[in-house]
Amino acid sequence: MRRTVICFTRAPLPGRTKTRLLPLLSGEGCAALHAAFLRDVAAACRRSGADTYVAYTPPEGRDLLAELFPFARALFPQEGEGLGPRMAAALDHVLALGYGQCLLIGSDLPLLTAEHLSGAFAALDQAEATLGPTPDGGYYLAGLRHPCPALFSGQSYGAGGVYDAARAALAQAGVSFAPAPPCSDVDTPEDLLALRQALAGRDTHTARFLAGYFGGTP
Q: Does domain 3-185 have CATH number 3.90.550.10?
A: yes
81-102 pLDDT, tens per residue? 999 999 999 999 999 999 999 9
Q: Over pLDDT 90: what percentage of the chain?
A: 85
HEC states along the chain? CCEEEEEEEECCCCCCCCHHHCCCCCHHHHHHHHHHHHHHHHHHHHHHCCEEEEEEECHHHHHHHHHHCCCCCEEEECCCCCHHHHHHHHHHHHHCCCCCEEEEECCCCCCCCHHHHHHHHHHHHHCCEEEEECCCCCEEEEEECCCCHHHHCCCCCCCCCHHHHHHHHHHHCCCCECCCCCCCCCCCHHHHHHHHHHCCCCCCHHHHHHHHHHCCCC
Mean pLDDT of the chain, nearest integer: 94
137-167 pLDDT, tens per residue? 999 999 999 999 999 988 877 777 999 999 9
